Amino acid sequence: MCFHRLTKNTGIFGVLLLCSPLTPVRAGVIYWVQSYQDKIARVDVNDRTVRNLLQWPYLHDAVGIAVDPVGGKIYWAQSFEDKILRADVNGENIETLLQGPPVAVPVALVVDPVGRKIYWAQSYGNSILRADLNGHNVEALLQYPVLQAAPVALALDPMRGKMYWAETAGVGPFDDRILRADLTGANMEVLIAYPQLKAPVAVAVDSVEGKVYWAQSSGVGTYDAKILRANVTGALNVETVLLYPQLLDPVALAVDPIARHIYWAQTSGAGTYSDELRRAAFTGGDTVETLLQWPQLEGPIGVAFTASTASTEPIPTVSAWGMVVTALLMLTAGTLVLLPRRPVVAA
């Protein structure tokens, strides 16, 4: 027998599903946005069932996607008319949250399900902003000249109260960096810089193990394409997780720290016929699987992972022997955060 409830204990907001130890964990879902046909779709990562949710004219030039599993919403930014929009996770009830200033050439989008905020990075003014999930209370957190180069990717670690972003000047590798700051924009610091990274295109955070992952493009040669990671505390310990020929030209990245998987969308750079959605275990190596390939996806731009099913229900998790966990989805990525909770005592 199961029930779910909302909790705000210790400042953590989440959805709990209390079940017997035999209750199975439901499949994860990848949402992606693609340039071809201006489309948002999703796939169940277990049975590979694909469902198309939205396409033109309901979205136009989308550049990022994020999921709020607590509220049962998907969010996306689009460069056409500088908009941030949301809909139910089944594609219904579309709302325009923000249009025009302060949104200007958005490039990445993430949701903080703990703080109930949406964050986005934009190339205009080299800026990172946030707002309430309904689009109210917009705050400019960082901008030029504090951000010297245009951000290209954004991810959150709400457990540690940090945001991470990648930036590049687009003219050479020497300005390529991954930076972080508090969720308010304070205490900015450079975490990783050239030559430890080159041409970053996507960032994701594993809040459970305290790792930041990033994908870098092939640049001038296919052999430069890589997915790497580093510690977010202590010694960086930069590790290469995947490289050519295990991946070609990654364009988007997400992690599932519960199942310990990396997900990425990639293209060969030679045409849409080799566009793919792949995953691998955190160990990398020969664990790579192709989940989808052309023509099921074409021109992928962004991906987001959630542990919930492709319904409007909250995230289900398993409580074994009285231990309840709260699963919360992160961005731009998509990072799933697992927060241990105290045992629930029956009334």
Instruction: Give the β-pairing of 3-7 and 14-18.
Output: antiparallel
Q: Pick from 26, 6, 31, 28: which is nearest to 16 by CA?
A: 6
Using an 8 Å Cβ cutoff, are 202 and 187 in contact?
no
DSSP for 108-140 reads: EEEEETTTTEEEEEETTTTEEEEEETTS-S-EE
What is the C-alpha separation between 294 and 62, in angstroms, rounded?
A: 19
pLDDT digits 0-9 by tens, 95-141: 999 999 999 999 999 999 999 999 999 999 899 999 999 999 999 99
Could you please state the CATH topology (level 3) that the domain comprising 3-340 is classified under: Neuraminidase (2.120.10)
> What is the DSSP track for 7-49?
E-GGG--EEEEE--TTPPPPPPEEEEEETTTTEEEEEETTT--
DSSP state of 274: G
Collapsing DSSP to helix, strand or coil, 64 comes out as strand
Cα–Cα distances in Å, from 346 out to 18, 65, 235, 241, 322?
11, 39, 43, 44, 10
**62 — pLDDT class (breaks 50, 70, 90):** very high
Confidence band of 266 (pLDDT split at 50, 70, 90): very high
Global pTM value: 0.81
Nearest to 65 by CA among 114, 118, 113, 17: 118
User: 289-319, pLDDT tens digit by residue?
Assistant: 999 998 889 999 999 999 864 444 444 333 3
Place of tokens 């231990």: 323
